[in-house]
């Protein structure tokens, strides 16, 4: 795949765990539409046609997370490093969509500069309130847990940009309607280095109301994200190594024990301690279901309504 496209990359100077390969090299089919921006602690591949980030890329380390205690503070402004049109506040105003961070400000709350740089319009995309303040937020918290547990994880996030997307404020009778498209899907890829190889888990989530505590239902492999986005992630790696971890996502490689969340009356989410276990049900072949669940009855969503 990489022989067909031009390689695009910026060296990520503070990478800790990859001494041989640059993990931030991304190859794009639409190379002429991509503008690269490097901020202090993360990078963006900005799609100038859609005026949205095609991907964001950063390292989340245990050391930074230990210092991450600043209160959330900031409002979105234009990215001063980007010389192309970007979204603006009026695009989102009364649109019904949130400015969804791709690099969460909480991940960068170890530094005022780092947090400030997450509030660029180049680092956000239109998300429904239900996704942004629901399961997407839960995934962000789980990613921080993995950063602490594994010492360092690499996080790649972005919207799936495709033709004919609905636009915010789309109204043929309104002059100057927003040109910012609303993605139908968002992705997040998390990888870590382990035992001379890499472990990866990816998520594809619909930009709609998603049930809480069902993250495993959105797990896919890196290859699936690449097919939808036209991007080749981690393309500096040797083909055999890249293929080895991009074609699979083993849930057993990642600790999905995390907190359980419920919605409150004011539409915020409340975190409750919970334990994730493997589903107790058996498949038609007589093998134990491989899905995990936080349901107290021990069954995943697929099997919880089945009589046993």
Residues 67-91 have pLDDT tens digits of 998 999 999 999 999 999 999 999 9
CA–CA distance, 148 with 139 (Å, rounded to integer): 14
CA–CA distance, 196 with 222 (Å, rounded to integer): 19
Instruction: Give me 215's structure tokens.
Output: 């993250």
Q: What is the pLDDT of residue 173?
A: 43
Question: pLDDT tens digits for 134-181?
Answer: 999 999 999 999 999 999 999 999 999 999 999 986 554 455 567 899
Count of domains forming the chain:
1
Q: What is the pLDDT of residue 260?
A: 62
- The pLDDT confidence band at residue 246, using thresholds 50, 70 and 90, is confident
Q: What is the pLDDT of residue 280?
A: 73
Residue 55 within a domain: yes
Is the per-residue pLDDT at 249 higher than 60?
Answer: yes
For range 292-306, the mean pLDDT: 65
- 270 beta partners: 262
Q: Domain span at residue 53?
A: 2-256
Q: What is the pLDDT of residue 271?
A: 54
Higher pLDDT, 76 or 196: 76
Give SS3 for 210: coil
Residue 307 within a domain: no
- Report the predicted TM-score, pTM, of the whole model to 2 decimal places: 0.78
Average confidence score pLDDT of the chain: 82
Name which of 22-31, 62-71, 123-132, 184-193 the model is least confident about.
22-31
Is the per-residue pLDDT at 17 higher than 50?
Answer: no
Q: What is the pLDDT of residue 73?
A: 92
> Radius of gyration over alpha carbons of the chain, in Å?
20
Is the per-residue pLDDT at 213 higher than 90?
Answer: no
For range 90-104, the mean pLDDT: 94
Residue 71 within a domain: yes
Residue with tokens 């490097």: 38
Higher pLDDT, 286 or 80: 80
Residue 10 within a domain: yes
Residue 268 within a domain: no
Residue 120 within a domain: yes
Higher pLDDT, 65 or 252: 65
Residue 207 within a domain: yes
Among residues 192, 225, 221, 217, the alpha carbon closest in space to that of 290 is found at 217
Is the per-residue pLDDT at 94 higher than 70?
Answer: yes
- The pLDDT confidence band at residue 277, using thresholds 50, 70 and 90, is low
Q: What is the pLDDT of residue 10?
A: 31
Among residues 144, 156, 155, the alpha carbon closest in space to that of 255 is found at 144
- The pLDDT confidence band at residue 266, using thresholds 50, 70 and 90, is low
Q: What is the CATH number of the domain that holds 177?
A: 3.40.570.10
Residue 98 within a domain: yes
């Amino acid at each position: 795949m990489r022989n067909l496209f031009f390689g695009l990359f910026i060296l990520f100077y503070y990478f800790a765990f990859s001494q041989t390969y640059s993990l931030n090299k991304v190859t794009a089919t639409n190379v002429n539409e991509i503008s690269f921006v490097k901020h202090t602690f993360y990078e963006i591949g900005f799609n100038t046609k859609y005026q949205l980030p095609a991907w964001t890329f950063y390292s989340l380390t245990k050391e930074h997370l230990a210092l991450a205690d600043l209160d959330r503070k900031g409002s979105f402004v234009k990215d001063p490093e980007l010389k192309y049109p970007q979204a603006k506040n009026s695009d989102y105003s009364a649109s019904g969509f949130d400015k969804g961070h791709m690099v969460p400000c909480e991940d960068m709350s170890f530094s005022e500069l780092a947090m400030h740089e997450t509030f660029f319009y180049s680092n956000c995309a239109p998300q429904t309130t239900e996704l942004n303040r629901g399961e997407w937020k839960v995934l962000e918290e789980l990613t921080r847990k993995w950063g602490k547990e594994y010492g360092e994880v690499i996080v790649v996030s972005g919207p799936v940009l495709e033709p004919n997307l609905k636009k915010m404020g789309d109204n043929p009778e309104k002059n100057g309607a927003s040109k910012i498209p609303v993605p139908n899907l968002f992705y997040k890829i998390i990888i870590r280095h382990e035992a001379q190889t890499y472990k990866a888990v990816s998520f594809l989530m619909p930009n709609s109301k998603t049930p809480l505590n069902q993250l495993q239902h959105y797990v896919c492999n890196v290859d699936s994200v690449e097919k939808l986005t036209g991007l080749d992630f981690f393309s500096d790696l040797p083909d055999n190594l890249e293929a080895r971890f991009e074609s699979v996502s083993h849930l057993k490689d990642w600790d999905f024990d995390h907190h359980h969340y419920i919605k409150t009356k004011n539409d915020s989410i409340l975190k409750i301690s919970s334990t994730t276990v493997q589903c107790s049900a058996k498949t038609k072949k007589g093998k134990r279901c491989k899905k995990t669940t936080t349901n107290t009855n021990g069954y995943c969503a697929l099997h919880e309504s089945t009589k046993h």
